[in-house]
Chain A
Amino acid sequence: MSGNGKIERRRNVQLRLNLNGEEAEVSFAPYKTLLEVLREDLGLTGTKHGCELGECGACTVLVDGTPVLSCLQLAVECEGRSVETIEGLARGNALHPLQAAFADHGGSQCGYCTPGVIMTAKALLGEEPNPSRDRIREATSGNLCRCTGYNQIVESIEVAAADLRTPGK
C-alpha cells in the first residue's frame, strides 16, 4: 500500500441489502469484505472467520440463497441482494431444525465452524430435501471442522433433513 497520507478510499460507502429478511442500510469503508461489514458494521458476529483467505468455510453465508465465503466477497458487491446469516435462521425463539439437530446430535462441539456449516447445509436442503450421506459430505467439504471428525455433522444434517421433510414443519 502506498504511504502517502491522502487516503480517499477511507471515505465510507453506503449499501442497501435485504439482511435476514429485513431491509438494512449500512455505511462502511469500501475495501471491506462482506464478512467484515457483517461482523464490524452490522454487529452480526455469528458469522465466524478462520482464515480470511477462503480456505476454511467458517464465514459461509447465503447470498441470494447460495453459499458464499463472505471473506472473499466485497460488501459493495451486495447492493440490493439478499444476505442470510446464522442469526436469521431461528423461528422466533425456536431453533431451526438444523440448529436443533446440531445441538442434539453432536454436530457442534466448540461451535466455531457451526454457523458456516449450518448455512451450507441450509442451502443444500433447500435444493435437495433428501440428500444421500455422500452428497452431504460433498456439499459440506468446504467447511473445515477440527472437533467433530464430521460424522456427527453429517448425522445432524440427516436428522434435520428428515425433520424438514415431515409435513407441518
Chain B
Amino acid sequence: MSTGKRLDVVGKPRRRVDSRGKVLGQLRFADDLSLPRMLHCKLLRSPHPHARIESIDVSRAEKHPGVHLVLTGKDFPIPFGIMPVAQDEHALAPERVRFVGDPVAAVIAKDEQTAGEALGLIEVKYQPLPTIATPEEALANAETRIHDYGEQGNIHRNQAYEFGDVEEALAGSDHVFEDTFFYEGNTHLPMEQQASLAAVEGDGKLTLSSSTQNPHYLHRQLARVLQMPASQIRVIATPNGGGFGGKCDPANHELVVSKAALILGRPVKICLTREEVFYQHRGRHPVLMRFRTGVTKDGRLTGMHLQTLLDGGGYGSHGPASTFYTGVLTPVTYELPRFKFEACRVFTNKPPCGPKRGHGTPQPRFGQEVQLDKIAEKLGLDPAEMRLGMVTKADALTANWLKIGSTGLAECIRKVVEMSGWKEKHRKLPEGRGVGLACSAYMCGAGVSIYWNKMPHSGVQLLLDRSGQVSVLCGATEIGQGSDDVLAAIVAETLGIGTGDVRVHTGDTGLTPIDLGSYSSRVTVMMGNAALQAAGRVREQIVAAAAESLEILPGRVLLSQGRVFSADDSSKTMSFAEAVTLAESKFGTLGAVGSYAPPRQPGRYKGSGVGPSPAYSFSACVVETEVDPATGWITVPKIWVAHDIGRAINPVHARGQVIGGVYMGLGEALMEEQVFRRLPAKLSGALVHRIPSMLEYKSLTSLDMPEVEVALVEEPDPNCPFGAKEAGQGPLLPVMPAVANAIFDAVGVRIDELPITPDKVLAALQLKAEGKPPRIGPGSFPNVPYAKAMFVLPPWEGGDGNESTPQRAIAGAAGT
C-alpha cells in the first residue's frame, strides 16, 4: 500500500522509542526487578570437567539459617534442549557432569549471601572420568562417551552434501588451492549477566521474567521440564543488556527458579555472576576447516570442497544447526558451480558452544575470504576486481538451492574500494602498512523454525481506540538491536503517525502474539512483514471511515504526519484520532492481526531447511593495518564497510548495528578467545577455563577501536518490509578475513588462524626471515569419519532440488 508513497518515518534518523528509558536508567532489566517476599537463588557448579556424581548430601545446606529450599538433579527428571534433536541437558545434572561449571544443585535463600554460604555446605561425591579437551581427542577416543547419543563415539553430528561432482570440477580447474584454517572459539560477553525472576501470580499461574532472546522457545521448554500446560506459564523477555546469541538457549537457571517459585509459592530471583556467564557460554564454536578450491586462470571459481570440524563442548545446544551453518551459506557470495561440504561436530568437556552473531558462518567465511586473497595474489589479480567478476546475481539460485533475492554486493565492493582509496593503497603502501578486503553474505531470518510446524514465524496484533492510541503487540524481543523501534516505525509509517504515537509491547508470551525470537537476523523481516499486514488491515478500516466522512473515494485518502486527508483537496482533512473515532463508530472495536511465514524454498533434499532465508544481506569491508615488525603489534587505524541493508528503517541505528558488528569482528580477529587449560595433575588435571573474567577475556576498548566509515547500500528486497534487510549480524563477517588479508599486505605473512595475536605475527616474520613459508596456522587436518555425502545436482545441471545419483558413478570416475 505504500508503494510510491513518500516515506515519513522509514529511512529517517530518529530517536529510538526505547532510548529515553535507557539514558535515564529507568529501563528495567531482569536484575532490576524485585517483588515482595522475593528469595534468591545460587547454583552449585561442578569443579570437574567430566565426572559421575556418586552422591549429593544437602542436609547441612538445608539446615543453614535462611535457606528455604535446596534442589538437585532428582528434582528435574526431564531433559531439555533448544533443538528437538538435542534434548541432552538437565536443569541440574542428575548423574553426570560434563564441564567445569555444569550446575549440580541450587540453593534458594533469603538473600544471595546466605544462598552462597549454603552452597559450601553441600557435599557432592564425584568419580572423575577421562576428559576430552579437543576435537582430535574426541575423534581418537570413542570410549568414555560424553553422551550416549550422537553419530558414534564422541561425534555429535555429521553432515555431508555434494552439489554436483566436485572432484570432476577440481580436476578440470586451471588451479586448485588447498588451505587449512582454524578459528578459535570466543564468547558473547554481553554486558548484562543473565538474570531471571520467577513468581506464581495471584491467578495461580507462573510468570518468568528473564533476559532471554527467545521467550517462545523458553516457554516450550519450561512446559516440558516443569510438566505443566504451557498455557499456565507466562514468559516475559525483559530487555536484554546485549545478547549476541548468548541468551538464545533455554538456560538451567531459568528452569531452576521457575521450579523453586512453584514449590515455595514465593518469587525467586537469580543473577549469574560474570564467571558463571562464561560457563553458560553457548558461544562461537572453535572450527578447524580445510578448503580445496578450484579456479580458472582468471580467478573464477569452478568448485569447492569444504571440510569443517567443530568443537561443540559438553552439550548439544544449537549444535545440529551450527554444523550445517559451517557450510550452507558459503555459496551465497560468489558464483560457485559445484560445492561439497562435510561437517562434523564433536563433544568435548568444555562449556557448550552455540550461536554467536553469525552462527557458524564467520568461521568458513574467514577461511574462504583469506583463501580468495591467496588466489588473487597467486594469479596476480586485484582482490576487489576478482570478487566483482563473480558476485552472485539478484534472484539467482546457488549450487545448494538457496534463492537469492536482491543483492548489492557489487555496489558494496565498489563503495569500500572508493571510500578506502583501495587502488592507491593495496600492494602500494610502505612495508609495515597494508589494506585487506573481504566480503560476506548473511541470512535475514532462518526459513524454518527450530521445531517443525506450519504456523507463522511472527505475529503482530494492533489495538486502537477512540483516544487515538495505537498499541502494537508482538513476541519479538528487544536485545539492543532496535527491534521495538523497527516495529513502531513500520506501524507508524503505515498509519501516517509518528513512532512516538505508538505504544509498543513486546516479548511477553502472556500478552503478545508469538514471534520466534531474536536470532538468525529474522526480526526486521518477519516481525516487520507481520506488522505491515496488521497495520495495513487497520489502515483500510480507517480509510473507509474517513472516506465516508470526507465524501471522497477511499483510494484518495492519505495518512501522513498524524492527519487523514484528501489527496486532491487539502481542506478535506481530519486528525488521525478523529479518523480512528469514526472507524470505531463504523466497525466497532478496532484491531487487527498480521502474521508472516517465510516463502517456500526451492531445495527439496533432506536438510535443505537450513540456509534458506526470505532475503540475504551482503557486506564488503576494507581494513587498514599497521604492523610493528619488532613486536608484531597490530594497529588498525581505520575500517571501511559497506552493507547492503535493503533499506535502513532508521539510518542512525542501522549504522550503529553495522559499527557494532565490525567492532565484534575486529575483537574476534585480534584478541577474543575462550580458551582452556589443564590444571597440573597434582591439583586434579581438570580442564578449566583459562580465566573466566572480563579482565582476562580481552575485548576492544574505546582506545583500541578505530573509526569505522559506513556506507549503507540500499537494494530493497521485495520479500522485506519496505525492502529492509538485516544489519545485526552480516557486517561482522567480512572483518576477520579483511584483517588477515591486510596483515599480509602489510608484512607479507599469512596468519591462517584466529585470533591474530602479535606472537603469531612475530613467529611468521621469523619464518619469513629464515626463508621459510611465512605462514602460521594449522599444519594438518585430522582424518574425520565424515558421513557419505548426499548428492544433489545444482540447478544448472538439470537438478530438481531433490537428492539424485551422481553421474560419476555411471561414468566410473574415481572418487576420493
Contact = CB atoms under 8 A, between A and B. Distances in A.
Partners in one complex: yes
Interface of A: 1, 3, 5, 29, 31, 39, 44-53, 55-56, 58, 85-87, 89-90, 95, 98-100, 102-106, 108-115, 118, 136-138, 140-154
Contacts of A108: 19, 22-23
Given A141-B701, A148-B660, A103 B193 contact: no
A50 B191 contact: yes
B656 A148 contact: yes
A12 to B, nearest CB: 13
B274 interface: yes
B553 interface: no
B92 to A, nearest CB: 24
A151 B659 contact: yes
Interface string B183-199: 00000111111000000
Nearest to B192: A112
A147 B480 contact: yes
A50 B193 contact: yes
A146 B702 contact: no
A102 B23 contact: yes
Contacts of B701: 141-142, 144, 150
Given A110-B240, A141-B703, A50 B192 contact: yes
A119 to B, nearest CB: 10
Contacts of A89: 24
A111 B694 contact: no
Contacts of A106: 652-653, 655-656
B703 A137 contact: yes
A58 B31 CA distance: 14
8 contacts: A3-B117, A55-B693, A87-B25, A109-B653, A110-B190, A143-B702, A144-B701, A148-B660
B130 interface: no
A87 B28 CA distance: 13
Given A55-B693, A87-B24, A150-B705, A48 B29 contact: yes
B15 interface: yes
A45 B18 CA distance: 17
B20 A55 contact: no
B482 interface: yes
**Which of B65, B239, B480 has the most A CB atoms < 10 Å from its CB?**
B480
B473 interface: no
Given A45-B25, A95-B23, A109-B656, A149 B192 contact: no
Contacts of B705: 137, 149-151
**Which of B25, B113, B662, B699 has the most A CB atoms < 10 Å from its CB?**
B25
Nearest to A116: B191
B616 interface: no
Contact of B19 (A44, A103, A142, A146): A103
A169 B185 CA distance: 49
Nearest to B662: A149
B517 to A, nearest CB: 16
Contacts of B661: 149
Given A51-B693, A115-B25, A109 B191 contact: no
Main secondary structure of the interface of B (DSSP, over half): loop
Contacts of A47: 25
A109 B121 contact: no
A146 B664 contact: yes
Contact of B663 (A29, A51, A99, A150): A150
A55 B699 CA distance: 11
Nearest to B65: A5
B28 A45 contact: yes
Closest A-B pairs by Cβ, 6 of them: A46-B25, A110-B480, A111-B22, A149-B663, A112-B241, A86-B25
**Which of A45, A110, A151 has the most B CB atoms < 10 Å from its CB?**
A110
Question: Interface residues of B toward A: which range?
Answer: 35 or more
A48 B274 contact: no
B702 A140 contact: yes
Contact of B274 (A1, A39, A51, A149): A51
A153 B190 CA distance: 17
Interface string B3-30: 0000000000001101111111111110
B15 A103 contact: yes
Nearest to B32: A45
**Which of B24, B31, B192, B705 has the most A CB atoms < 10 Å from its CB?**
B24
A51 to B, nearest CB: 4
A148 B652 contact: no
Interface in B463-494: 479-482
Interface of B: 15-16, 18-29, 31-32, 65, 113, 117, 120-121, 188-193, 239-244, 273-274, 479-482, 652-653, 655-657, 659-664, 693-695, 699-703, 705, 707-708
A111 B15 contact: no
A103 B27 CA distance: 13
Nearest to A39: B32
A19 to B, nearest CB: 14
Contacts of A98: 23
A53 B25 contact: no
B701 to A, nearest CB: 5
Contact of B191 (A53, A87, A112): A112
B659 A153 contact: no
Contact of A103 (B22, B26, B191): B22
A95 B662 CA distance: 30
B23 A147 contact: no
A31 B116 CA distance: 15
A31 B113 CA distance: 10
B768 to A, nearest CB: 32
Nearest to A1: B117
A146 B26 contact: no
A50 B191 CA distance: 5
B192 A144 contact: no
Contact of B239 (A53, A58, A111, A145): A111
A102 B19 CA distance: 8
Contacts of A144: 191, 694, 699, 701
A105 B193 contact: no
A113 B29 CA distance: 12
A43 to B, nearest CB: 9
A145 B479 CA distance: 14
A5 B24 CA distance: 42
A48 B702 contact: no
B702 A111 contact: no
A3 B705 CA distance: 47
B324 to A, nearest CB: 27
Contacts of B19: 102-104, 108, 111
A57 to B, nearest CB: 9
Contacts of B239: 110-111
Contacts of B20: 95, 103
Given A104-B19, A152-B659, 8 more contacts: A90-B24, A110-B243, A111-B480, A138-B702, A146-B188, A151-B659, A151-B707, A151-B708
Contacts of A90: 24
A17 B29 CA distance: 27
B674 to A, nearest CB: 15
A60 to B, nearest CB: 12
Nearest to B240: A110
A156 to B, nearest CB: 9
Contacts of B694: 50-51, 53, 55-56, 144
B24 A146 contact: no
B702 A52 contact: no
Contacts of B120: 1, 3
A143 B22 CA distance: 16
A142 B703 CA distance: 9
Contacts of A136: 702
Nearest to A109: B480
Contacts of A45: 25, 28, 31-32
Contacts of B29: 48, 112
B653 A3 contact: no
B274 A50 contact: yes
B191 A146 contact: yes
A97 B659 CA distance: 23
A48 B23 contact: no
